[in-house]
């Protein structure tokens, strides 16, 4: 996953859609993470935590194919050996921090598409309602501080920087800052747990483009840390959250005079256009799970959580999606969480525990789509409702992320100073390669 001074080719963002009206208000997505890093078919996808995928339905026949991927990406190489990195980059999507930032931020997200400000204002609803502030930047500041404390406690002696794709601090600014401080070998941690173009491949392209834009390609190299959805770091906080959510809904049901009723566990992640999901590989995962790789990764996490949390034994569960946007004519992954909750109520379910496994922190999608819309849907149907906590800066998450980072850091004996622990069964290694995003980009070129 290395972008080095030897790589000469850069790539450009293949997003091309513009905002569309939809039955639900459209808003940028922050999948830090989802990414997850991430995945709105509108041109305003905030990826962070979380893994949104760029839209493609506005590609016209005969449109120019996407630029080549960076050399290392096209070859699908990975870096398994630890190295002497001298700085860590916490990479994310960025978000506005005041009303005056909202439209400039959305202009950055939709650069090159000529979308007028009045159209951008249509998708600014949730930012406007929140004072023009996205929670994602402060959450990344908090995560950076927590990571710095854990790194210092382990005496790893490596600084951590923070940079964004679409708002301050921009990657160009952060790369120049790291270079001025004498750093040349950068280890990049993206705030998105799952695989996908916007949560993985596009960041690698961002880093390559930034090396070109800053003129630092001959002097700096960047290695992107692997995805971590299958790791103890990501899973353990959700295990605690699931147990707490089940206890809370059971208490709500008992208070409502339904002591024998049991909650249903509703796992949720960001939806993406169906054809984007279908373009992801590798085939071995598709064959094993009978669905696209994006859904398979989330299903694997959901099944592991249900099997490993004693309180969840015997309970029903489902995987749902949220935050779809774009043209109503474009198929997206379903069911929508609000539709699923409605069907659950009609089937006699009395309460739901909503598990936002697509997200690493409580950013705008979580606060609006789950804490407002889905919660209101449940209330209208008379269902007990609990939205489980995201990992955020919980100690287990932070410590586990440093374990993952430590896979890449060389100790005095040349061996890695630590190692993340995979707990979700499956052959997930090698997914972030040509069979994933290269397939996706070919699909874009054909559309």
Residue 134 annotated in ligand binding:
yes
Residue pair 161/88 in contact by the 8 Å Cβ criterion? yes
Q: If you average pLDDT over every residue of the chain, what do you get?
A: 82
Report helix, strand or coil for 154: coil
Enumerate domains of the chain plus CATH numbers.
Answer: 2-9+69-228+403-446 (3.40.50.1400), 232-387 (3.40.50.1400)
Separation CA 386–CA 247 (nearest Å): 10
Instruction: Residue 416: name the closest of 83, 71, 11 by CA.
Output: 83
Q: Please, is 221 exposed, middle or buried when counting C-beta atoms within 10 Å of its C-beta (0-12, 13-18, 19+)?
A: buried
Q: What is the pLDDT of residues 35-64, one digit of tens each?
A: 333 333 343 443 333 333 333 333 333 333
Q: Is the pLDDT of residue 78 over 70?
A: no
Q: Would you say the pTM of this structure is higher than 0.85? A: no
pLDDT at site 168: 96
pLDDT at site 308: 98
Q: What is the pLDDT of residues 114-133, one digit of tens each?
A: 889 998 998 898 899 999 99
Separation CA 176–CA 166 (nearest Å): 16
Contacts 24+ apart (CB under 8 A), 380-383: 381/341, 381/342, 381/345, 382/345, 383/341, 383/344, 383/345, 383/349, 383/350, 383/351, 383/352
Separation CA 435–CA 280 (nearest Å): 7
């Amino acid at each position: 996953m290395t972008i080095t001074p030897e790589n000469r080719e850069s790539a450009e963002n293949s997003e091309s859609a513009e905002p569309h009206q939809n039955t639900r208000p459209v808003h940028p997505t922050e999948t830090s993470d989802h990414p997850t890093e991430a995945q709105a078919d509108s041109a305003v996808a905030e990826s962070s935590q979380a893994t949104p995928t760029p839209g493609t339905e506005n590609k016209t026949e005969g449109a120019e194919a996407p630029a080549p991927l960076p050399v290392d990406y096209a070859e699908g190489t990975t870096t398994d050996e630890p190295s002497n990195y001298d700085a860590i980059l916490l990479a994310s999507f960025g978000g506005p921090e005041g009303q005056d930032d909202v439209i400039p931020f959305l202009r950055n997200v939709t650069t090159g598409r000529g979308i007028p400000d009045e159209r951008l204002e249509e998708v600014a609803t949730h930012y406007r309602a929140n004072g023009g502030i996205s929670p994602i930047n402060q959450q990344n500041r908090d995560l950076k501080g927590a990571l710095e404390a854990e790194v210092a406690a382990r005496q790893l002696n490596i600084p951590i920087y923070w940079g964004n794709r679409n708002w301050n601090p921009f990657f160009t600014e952060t790369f120049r800052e790291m270079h001025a401080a004498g750093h040349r070998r950068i280890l990049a941690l993206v705030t998105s747990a799952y695989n996908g173009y916007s949560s993985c491949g596009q960041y690698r392209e961002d880093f390559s483009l930034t090396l070109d834009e800053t003129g630092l390609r001959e002097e700096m190299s960047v290695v992107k840390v692997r995805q971590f959805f299958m790791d103890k770091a990501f899973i353990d906080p959700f295990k605690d959250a699931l147990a707490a959510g089940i206890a809370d809904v059971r208490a709500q049901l008992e208070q409502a005079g339904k002591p024998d009723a049991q909650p249903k566990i509703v796992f949720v992640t960001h939806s993406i256009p169906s054809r984007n999901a279908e373009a992801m590989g590798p085939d071995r995962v598709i064959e094993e799970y009978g669905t696209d790789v994006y859904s398979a990764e989330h299903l694997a996490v959901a099944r592991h959580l249900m099997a490993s949390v004693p309180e969840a034994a015997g309970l029903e569960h489902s995987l749902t999606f949220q935050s779809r946007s774009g043209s109503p004519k474009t198929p997206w992954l379903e069911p929508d969480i609000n539709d699923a909750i409605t069907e659950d109520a009609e089937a006699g379910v009395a309460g739901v525990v909503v598990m936002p496994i697509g997200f690493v922190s409580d950013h705008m999608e979580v606060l609006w789509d789950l804490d407002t819309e889905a919660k209101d849907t449940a209330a209208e149907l008379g269902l007990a409702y609990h939205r489980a906590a995201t990992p955020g800066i919980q100690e287990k998450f932070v410590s586990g992320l440093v374990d993952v980072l430590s896979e890449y850091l060389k100790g005095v004996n040349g061996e890695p100073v630590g190692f993340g622990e995979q707990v979700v069964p499956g052959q997930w290694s090698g997914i972030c390669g040509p069979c994933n995003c290269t397939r996706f980009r070919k699909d874009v070129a054909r559309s």
